[in-house]
Amino acid sequence: MRPTRREFLGIGMQALGAAALGMGSRPGSAGTDVHVAATELAPGMTLLAGAGANVVVVHGPDGSLLIDGGYAKNSKALLAAAAQATGNARVNTLINTHWHPAQTGSNEPIGRAGGLILAHERTREYLCRAVASVDYAGLYGPLAPAGRPTKTTRTGGSLMFAGQRVDYGYLPAAHTDGDLYIHFPQVNLLAAGGPVCADAWPLLDWRNGAWLGGLVRAHEKLAALVKPDTRLVPANGRVLTGAELARHHQMYAAFHERMVGYLNKGWDSRDAIADHPLKEFEAQFGDPAEFIYGAFQSLDLAYSPD
């Protein structure tokens, strides 16, 4: 028999209590050597990989624009790579696509140096407290006040940077419940953050508001926004195209319908995994068991009565 939503919440609280025993260690806090690879995306715009997440850095007249900041343990190497790529000695503006450790590890040094930090309002709320997640063990946060977003948005907006418009928008309950995309229409490029993956299954942080329906809606929204040849930078992995994203949307929409059918049959996550609903995509994306489990948990929380 499937656990009820209340039982799942109870399990989550037990896990939170256990995680609180390890509050002394922040995910991504241990030091290690790191190599940050740089790839030019457009004149003055570079993709930095290897610090824990894909990071986009843009040259500006008064400092660079950074999208996401890698793990805290890799921040020094990342910021050095950003300075080398842009010629800017400082980061003027940092945008967090969401609040996970791989996205917010450079918040504190950039904030202390006077940089503007922009994020969704839910991201700021998470960074002001200690949070458990399916993304990591233990707790993450709170960040020091200097590392918390100084400008937030609820639905989205735009800014001008280095002569080009930068649009950002909210993707509700997709990967977390504070996801932003960042669109550079003049160069046909979009930083998609956690909801999008080229060759792997995305993580659904169902403990913190994400669910499969939100992931499907995020792909639908992005697919309507971009062109077939738009380049999309995911949180991890290779850059993909708008045409690929449209195919992914179809895949996730069909999977969502199938998962709802499983729920209506009274199946649990083990039944769903055993049925191999994503078998035809395993060669490209890998073993989907963890993704199916997370999707099932998220749907159970969304649809099951207390």
Domain ranges of the chain: 5-303
CB 151 within 8 A of CB 118: yes
Q: What is the pLDDT of residue 17?
A: 36
For residue 25, pLDDT beyond 50: no
C-alpha closest to that of 165 among 152, 181, 180, 184: 184
* Share of residues in the chain with pLDDT > 90 (%): 87
Mean pLDDT, residues 138-153 taken together: 98
Q: Could you tell me where the DSSP H helices lie in the chain? A: 5-20, 75-86, 101-104, 107-112, 121-127, 212-225, 242-265, 269-274, 282-285, 289-303
* Share of residues in the chain with pLDDT > 70 (%): 89
Backbone angles phi, psi at 58, to 5 degrees: -125, 130
Q: Alpha-carbon distance 87 to 59, whole Å?
A: 7
**How does residue 33 score in pLDDT terms, banded at 50, 70 and 90?**
confident
**Picking from 15-19, 20-24, 108-112, which range would have the lowest pLDDT averaged per residue?**
20-24
Half-sphere exposure of 171 (CA within 13 A, CB side): 33
CB 71 within 8 A of CB 37: no
CA 113 to chain centre: 25
Q: Alpha-carbon distance 108 to 144, whole Å?
A: 7
pLDDT tens track for 193-249: 999 999 999 999 999 999 999 999 999 999 999 999 999 999 999 999 999 999 999
Question: Spelled out in words, what is the top-level CATH class assigned to the domain 5-303?
Answer: alpha beta
Q: Which residue has the tokens 């060669």?
A: 283
Which amino acid is located at 73 in the chain?
K
For residue 9, pLDDT beyond 70: no
- Which distant-in-sequence residues (6+ apart) come within 8 Å of 140 by Cβ? 26, 27, 100, 101, 130, 131, 133
Backbone angles phi, psi at 220, to 5 degrees: -65, -45
Beta strand 231-234 with 55-58 is unpaired
3 state SS of 177: coil
Q: What is the pLDDT of residue 32?
A: 57
For residue 60, pLDDT beyond 80: yes
**How does residue 281 score in pLDDT terms, banded at 50, 70 and 90?**
very high
Q: What is the pLDDT of residue 181?
A: 98
C-alpha closest to that of 303 among 237, 235, 246, 256: 256
Mean pLDDT, residues 46-58 taken together: 98
Mean pLDDT, residues 125-136 taken together: 98
Mean pLDDT, residues 169-188 taken together: 98
Mean pLDDT, residues 44-71 taken together: 98
C-alpha closest to that of 66 among 202, 177, 204, 162: 162
For residue 19, pLDDT beyond 70: no
For residue 251, pLDDT beyond 50: yes
**How does residue 116 score in pLDDT terms, banded at 50, 70 and 90?**
very high
Q: What is the pLDDT of residue 201?
A: 98
Q: Alpha-carbon distance 4 to 7, whole Å?
A: 5
- Which distant-in-sequence residues (6+ apart) come within 8 Å of 162 by Cβ? 44, 58, 59, 60, 61, 65
Conformation bin of residue 163: beta by default, left when phi > 0, alpha when psi is -120 to 50: left
